[in-house]
């Protein structure tokens, strides 16, 4: 089966397994013969079996003849008048015997094709049906038999061409767009393209200078769920440490890894390479202890800060509620005061009108008295 057919079969393996789990296996049909008959009844299977039987008989006959050629040359020579029965009964030619058992016999000479018998010098004449006894067959055996090397090579079988369908073009597209494991083949990016697409890793220094490292993939979003973040942290840290150890052993490098999850409750994870532990164990332990103390302070400060902020937020909420209540009361007082002020203004206007009326009446009375 070609790689294209194997990939084509792998694409349907899931559906095939599901079908086999729920139902019995369907009978296999031949895809080369027209109308797709059963494998047990198709013509190509029968022809293949005949070819295989012929080739196996040819190979066995040649091996027997090669193994007995030396025996034939050293034993009693056979004359040209010997029959096939004499040859079968003779012990000199062990490869040309008649196998009998259970009432059935099989002549080894029948397994040889005509060209092989002619090359070996075996001439077998057919028996005449009108005679009661068949005439003896004349066999000329050359004691110095030379086997043609071409006979030892398997004959090339004719290549059967399958029917033309539309699947071939699908396989070509699949081979062009996918690799051996079925993944989509994409364009390999250069370092400049990766830097433009993914950016650089921040926080890396080589001494006092910035060390530029290009990201290999996009930055992932933070995991908001604390449980999922802890699971991911515990799964990735062993892989990073294993790769760092391998790199340290291969390059004989000093490697120190320190890690602490901000939302985790466990201690920090640290790794020191073998050479660093061997040459500076105390200093490495001091660095690890200092890092652990720093992480404890940060986690504690973070938790205390969060608690203080929470308490301040609750106090602010309570103060805000009180201020809102006071504001409502003051707004009611202001509304009442504004209503009283409006009433007093109306009363003052009425008094002014009465005063004007009195003044006008007083002026009219003085004129009449004059």
Angstrom distance (rounded) from CA 147 to CA 208? 82
The answer as to whether 142 is a domain residue is yes
Question: Contact 85/116 with Cβ under 8 angstroms?
Answer: no
Structural tokens at position 61: 């006959």
The answer as to whether 51 is a domain residue is yes
Range of the domain at 154: 32-161
Angstrom distance (rounded) from CA 124 to CA 114? 10
Total count of domains within the chain: 1
The answer as to whether 176 is a domain residue is no
At 187-240, the pLDDT tens digits run 788 888 888 888 888 888 888 888 888 988 888 888 988 889 999 999 999 999
The answer as to whether 166 is a domain residue is no
Cα dist from 242 to 53, 148, 249, 271, 295, whole Å? 58, 62, 11, 10, 23
Angstrom distance (rounded) from CA 286 to CA 241? 20
The answer as to whether 268 is a domain residue is no
Structural tokens at position 230: 């802890």
Angstrom distance (rounded) from CA 295 to CA 286? 14
Q: State residue 25's pLDDT score.
A: 75
Confidence of residue 59 (pLDDT cuts 50, 70, 90): low
Question: Contact 141/122 with Cβ under 8 angstroms?
Answer: yes
The answer as to whether 61 is a domain residue is yes
Residue with tokens 């490869």: 95
Residue with tokens 């060209």: 115
The pTM of the full predicted model, rounded to 2 decimals, is 0.36
Angstrom distance (rounded) from CA 184 to CA 215? 21
3-class secondary structure, 105: strand
At 121-180, the pLDDT tens digits run 555 555 444 444 555 544 444 445 666 666 665 555 554 444 444 444 444 444 444 455
Angstrom distance (rounded) from CA 54 to CA 306? 88
The answer as to whether 100 is a domain residue is yes
The answer as to whether 258 is a domain residue is no
């Amino acid at each position: 089966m070609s790689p294209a057919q194997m990939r084509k079969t792998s694409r349907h393996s899931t559906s095939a397994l599901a079908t086999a789990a729920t139902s019995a296996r369907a009978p296999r049909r031949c895809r080369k013969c027209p109308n797709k008959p059963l494998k047990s009844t198709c013509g190509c299977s029968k022809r293949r079996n005949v070819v295989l039987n012929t080739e196996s008989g040819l190979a066995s006959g040649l091996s027997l003849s090669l193994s007995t050629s030396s025996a034939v040359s050293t034993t009693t020579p056979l004359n040209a008048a010997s029959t096939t029965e004499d040859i079968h009964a003779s012990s000199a030619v062990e490869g040309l015997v008649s196998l009998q058992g259970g009432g059935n016999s099989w002549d080894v000479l029948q397994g040889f094709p005509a060209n092989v018998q002619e090359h070996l010098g075996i001439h077998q004449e057919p028996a005449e049906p009108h005679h009661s006894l068949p005439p003896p067959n004349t066999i000329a055996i050359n004691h110095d038999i030379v086997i043609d090397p071409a006979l030892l090579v398997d004959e090339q079988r004719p290549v059967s061409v399958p029917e033309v369908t539309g699947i071939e073009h699908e396989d070509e597209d699949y081979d062009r767009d996918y690799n051996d494991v079925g993944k989509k083949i994409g364009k390999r990016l250069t370092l400049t393209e990766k830097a433009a697409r993914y950016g650089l890793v921040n926080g890396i220094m080589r001494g006092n200078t910035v060390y530029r490292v290009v990201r290999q993939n996009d930055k992932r979003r933070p995991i908001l769920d604390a449980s999922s973040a802890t699971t991911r942290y515990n799964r990735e840290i062993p892989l990073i440490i294993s790769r760092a150890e391998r790199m340290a052993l291969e390059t004989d490098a000093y490697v120190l890894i320190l890690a602490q999850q901000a939302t985790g409750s466990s201690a920090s994870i640290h790794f020191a390479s073998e050479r660093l532990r061997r040459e500076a164990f105390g200093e490495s332990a001091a660095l690890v202890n200092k890092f652990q103390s720093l992480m404890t302070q940060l986690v504690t400060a973070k938790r205390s800060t969060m608690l203080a902020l929470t308490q301040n937020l609750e106090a602010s909420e309570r103060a805000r509620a009180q201020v809102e209540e006071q504001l409502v009361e003051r707004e009611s007082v202001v509304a009442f005061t504004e209503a009283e002020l409006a009433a007093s203004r109306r009363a003052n206007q009425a008094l002014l009108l009465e005063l004007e009326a009195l003044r006008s009446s007083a002026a009219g009375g003085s004129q009449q008295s004059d």
